[in-house]
Structure 1
Amino acid sequence: MALTGLQIYKLLPQTNCKECGFPTCLAFAMKLAAKQAELSACPYVSEEAKAQLDAAAAPPIRLVSVEGPGHKVEVGNETVIFRHEKTFYHPPGLFLRV
């Protein structure tokens, strides 16, 4: 599940050092929540916070690969439920057993 900017802010060092390119850690957290910044821009974030933020940013459904003779379909690994929210990178396949 995606974290809000305030939840991300609580995991940041809250030093307001501006080394990430944003004036405050709260502004950086809001950009992280909107997926407009990368966590690697903060040089002072702890390893524990990195692990928590990476786990929260992971897609809720793991990638599943189904292979047949000469064909492979990958399903899952999506961060959105509806196509209009972003896009599906692995659209569902149709299987028919004859």
Structure 2
Amino acid sequence: MNPSCSASFRHLGDGRLFQLQNDAPAAASRAIEYFWLCDRCSAAMTLRIARDGNVVTTGLPETQNEGRNALDAENRRVLRAVTFLRTTHPMGT
């Protein structure tokens, strides 16, 4: 999601995954989109829904209401972080 980052998404345990859900009744289906920030980027930034409805990066110090979902009430869309438990593989890999 960060255009200046060249990291590749490899698995869910690295970085931070975000889910954008469209709950608009006019939508043919409840569209879900996913966005990802690598570990390095997610340590300094997060995602939010801009006024034009696009998902954009924003620095953590600029973020208000830390830990809450981003809401685009006009278009009935919610952006939330998806959390996975980090576990170690039984074989230690």
TM-score, normalised to structure 2, is 0.25
More strand by share: 2
TM-score, normalised to structure 1, is 0.24
Task: Determine which structure has more spread, i.e. the larger CA radius of gyration.
Answer: 1
